[in-house]
A and B are shown apart, each in its own frame.
Chain A
């Protein structure tokens, strides 16, 4: 992770980069998936990963079973973090308008970035990852391993001093106008 130093210095890192790093460490076999998902914008990724369950399509192999993957867990949680941070930064109406315009002109949104998190926040993220991972069929051990890897990766971008207004991964925090 040679780029981490620079990122840490900048304070912000893209969601997809965090996901890639975490997947590379805990589930390297899923890297092709991340590579594929990177081709989509964030909204598409969240929408597509959010829908669960396998479809039995005609002429498919017919395996209805869903493989328990680390990638969706990591991506969804990190994206949620980034979205909360962005939501607190930008006025909702302006964001909505921008999203619509972007759709009209088929322009991709800028990839979301992960905010710097405090130690408490990192703890909450860890908790959240375990929850989501278990929900999506991963066992506890694997869920913990993924959560630890993500927290470790996020810690590398964490600020030295706590930010005054914390951002929780599942509750939008008060407006951060920075």
Chain B
């Protein structure tokens, strides 16, 4: 490479600018926000503001000031069925279309405004037609000739604003029917400076040609309608519905919630403004470049600008003000005319804003779906894919463009890390302004976990940038669009998987370990768990995390992570300039020699070595398991769990070691090489384990599960399948960490060594290419095959274990006492518990009791009348009463636990005694056993005593909390 080659000038049209996606993101954000913001207002207006919903939550024992505490969560999980029944019974959800009505209204009004904006701007009294001033038709002729130079199919409508003293022009309307308005100042300047007149017109025509008009004014229309129809009612709602004052019991919990609601509104305003200005600024530069291309004189761009202000603070202030402007600084515009590098740079602000928007869209779509009662698992995935698609459309395109520009101009290829950190920071900031990860507190209990979001953003952009770089070095096509699209599609998949995982599982770790399967293990394998307490605890914590990776999008993501870059090795080694390069340059400089991809053979060698070591490590794990192999028939349970755990550790460690080795050797594409190597090593290791399991029982020292030697692939496969997905995902994650660590170390040790990649002479025979393609083909087929098999088993498992999982969820969450709260809150909880159904249950029980008493008196009277010593018990009279008591007991069991520990003890006793009494009664009637009938009466009496004590207890709680007079 020449030390400082003449920089080639890139044609800014060679790659999509991603402008449409940026506008679409803004509009989608506004629509989604309007849906959720107005849902609050609608619920409040229609008086279904979830008073009962809140009461149902209170009855679970939730503390309104600490909703996401571990104790609160546990208490909620213990009552989850009762809560759902409570919501179904008491809450009157609004019809789903109500929630759609407001966004629909927004769209309709925005469309009307879009049309009216054009009419308003071109109204009589503001502009005059060009013909009114252009008597000799000279201006029109100039306009027509310029429109022809700009390649416009027809000359736009031109009007004049004679009162505007600025020497500019503006275009409005829509792309198909634009109107250009010339300002008076421009017309006056035309005589003295015809070149400036031409430049301004060409710039406006460029906006038309670039299709900016509709998008710009549609955004304006949506934004203005959003302000009037959504934001204003929302703020009014916020002010009116704000909780009373510091004396109200829910004040301390409501303030963070309400503050975030307001911050969200402010954030949205700023976000939309900044994002819109940012995209408009880049459109201006595109228009300038097009105008210059069509022959505009560059002199009009030579506007004198004041130099940067003195002092750091002032400079900061100036650049802050700059962010809100719709036009870039003149010096930037002038520079861009010479070299449009600014259009290809990765800037922090758009990345940050996109991150925020992504979180807002993803979370609010889910919230909206849940409010509209449209909760379906696949809808969550759709929300994630939509948010990921928009982010990829912006960030991915920006990364590809930046990398392509660097490749074309011989500049340093950006790593994408900085952009990703900004993206991740934006995603994190989005989380903090939503009432999603926390509700009643300012911060989640473990805010540090939010760093994961930032790191995920960085890992994503790092991967995208490296993929772009790899493919751009290898792509044999004439234009890079197809490969860019394919790269972006896979990037979208990667990000979707992250969004789904984070929203459904990851964010739950922010408020403590959500799940612990330790209790489950202790229940299912009591003896073994006691023998291996450490293993049981580790599995208890790690298993839910690994299980959370069993998401439909996660494995395809992993496959994309390594198969997409791997495919680049199928391309022929370029011997001259790549075919897409000349088309992307306007003034081609001396062609840079193509840089070769790292050799595939080396990578495969390291991966194989890693795979084989993984296999050896698995054999070691088997040997260890063999050392304490339980007797035949007891080799399932925790033994199997521990065995699988060690296999996972062995395979992932080997894969990570391979990733470290491969990325340490590599001079570029380190992340991709690490992931490919790790995945390949993991696959080879898994294959080895499959072989080992299939001959389990044949190698004396390695026998684990089987006792006799036999070839059993069918028995081995389900076990391998169970673990394969998790091994591949964890290996991918550790590979990313490995690559990051190696890169950081290399950066410290050999600063700048990164760029010292030598261009090797490209020499390869036909046989080499075929072998390479064959090899990559086989590996990609393996990636896809494993993914398909794993996905199929995942679906199967989901179906069969859904019921089981529902039963287990309560065990996974430790059931504790309701969280300690103030007397006032406790009284509110108990009142909610009473009012939402306990009162009904008590009434039903009292009614049954009364009927029982009456029936007994009647039976006694009948016995007296018949002078019989024994009362005759008529089963037809007593059976329904006893059945009713049993039903009350069952219903009570399904109802909320009493949000007061003492009360709960009495409630439990009542349920048990009532159930016992009912059962004994019915049994005695069936068998004609009078002693049992008497016993049943005793049980029912005990139940009644427990219930009376409970009611006394609730009275005490209510009195203590000030909800009942002493």
Within 8 A of A (CB), among B460-517: none
B38 to chain A, nearest CB (A): 27
Q: List 15 A-B contacts (CB under 8 A).
A: A32-B133, A36-B161, A39-B128, A40-B128, A48-B163, A54-B168, A56-B326, A56-B327, A57-B326, A61-B204, A62-B284, A63-B166, A63-B167, A67-B188, A69-B188
- In Å, the complex CA distance between A30 and B183 comes to 12
- In Å, the complex CA distance between A60 and B189 comes to 16
Contact A67-B132, Cβ < 8 Å, known A33-B188, A60-B170, A61-B200: no
Q: Which residues of B contact A64 (CB under 8 A)?
A: 166
7 closest A-B pairs (Cβ-Cβ)?
A54-B166, A36-B162, A48-B163, A29-B191, A67-B185, A62-B327, A32-B133
A100 to chain B, nearest CB (A): 17
Contact A29-B166, Cβ < 8 Å, known A56-B325, A59-B171: no
Which of A33, A56, A59: most chain B Cβ within 10 A?
Answer: A59
Say yes or no: B128 contacts A36, CB within 8 Å: yes
- In Å, the complex CA distance between A65 and B193 comes to 15
Contact A55-B213, Cβ < 8 Å, known A30-B188, A32-B134, A33-B187: no
Say yes or no: A29 contacts B188, CB within 8 Å: yes
A164 at the interface (CB under 8 A from B): no
Closest to A45 in B: B163
- In Å, the complex CA distance between A72 and B164 comes to 10
Q: Which residues of A contact B333 (CB under 8 A)?
A: 62
Q: Which residues of B contact A35 (CB under 8 A)?
A: 132-133, 135, 162
Within 8 A of A (CB), among B331-381: 333
Within 8 A of B (CB), among A25-51: 27-30, 32-37, 39-40, 44-45, 48-49, 51
A172 to chain B, nearest CB (A): 25
- In Å, the complex CA distance between A21 and B326 comes to 39
B429 at the interface (CB under 8 A from A): no
B280 at the interface (CB under 8 A from A): yes
Within 8 A of A (CB), among B210-248: 212-213, 216, 220
B897 at the interface (CB under 8 A from A): no
Say yes or no: B132 contacts A69, CB within 8 Å: no
Chain B contact residues (Cβ within 8 angstroms of A): what range? 35 or more
Closest to A47 in B: B163
A-B contact count (CB 8 A): 122
- In Å, the complex CA distance between A109 and B184 comes to 24
Give which listed residue, A28, A44, A59, contacts B170 with CB less than 8 A: A59
Within 8 A of A (CB), among B173-224: 183-192, 199-200, 203-204, 207, 212-213, 216, 220
A30 to chain B, nearest CB (A): 5
B169 at the interface (CB under 8 A from A): yes
B824 to chain A, nearest CB (A): 54
Contact A58-B187, Cβ < 8 Å, known A37-B162, A39-B132: no
Which of A32, A54, A69: most chain B Cβ within 10 A?
Answer: A32
Contact A55-B132, Cβ < 8 Å, known A29-B192, A36-B160: no
A143 to chain B, nearest CB (A): 16
Closest to A35 in B: B133
Q: Which residues of B contact A49 (CB under 8 A)?
A: 163
B749 to chain A, nearest CB (A): 48
Q: Which residues of B contact A52 (CB under 8 A)?
A: 165
Contact A62-B125, Cβ < 8 Å, known A29-B190, A33-B162, A37-B162: no
A89 at the interface (CB under 8 A from B): no
Give which listed residue, B133, B168, B204, B327, contacts A33 with CB less than 8 A: B133
- In Å, the complex CA distance between A148 and B397 comes to 61
B172 at the interface (CB under 8 A from A): yes
Say yes or no: B280 contacts A58, CB within 8 Å: yes
Contact A59-B184, Cβ < 8 Å, known A65-B166, A72-B165: no
A90 at the interface (CB under 8 A from B): no
A66 at the interface (CB under 8 A from B): yes
A76 to chain B, nearest CB (A): 11
Q: Which residues of B contact A32 (CB under 8 A)?
A: 133-134, 139, 160, 162, 187-188
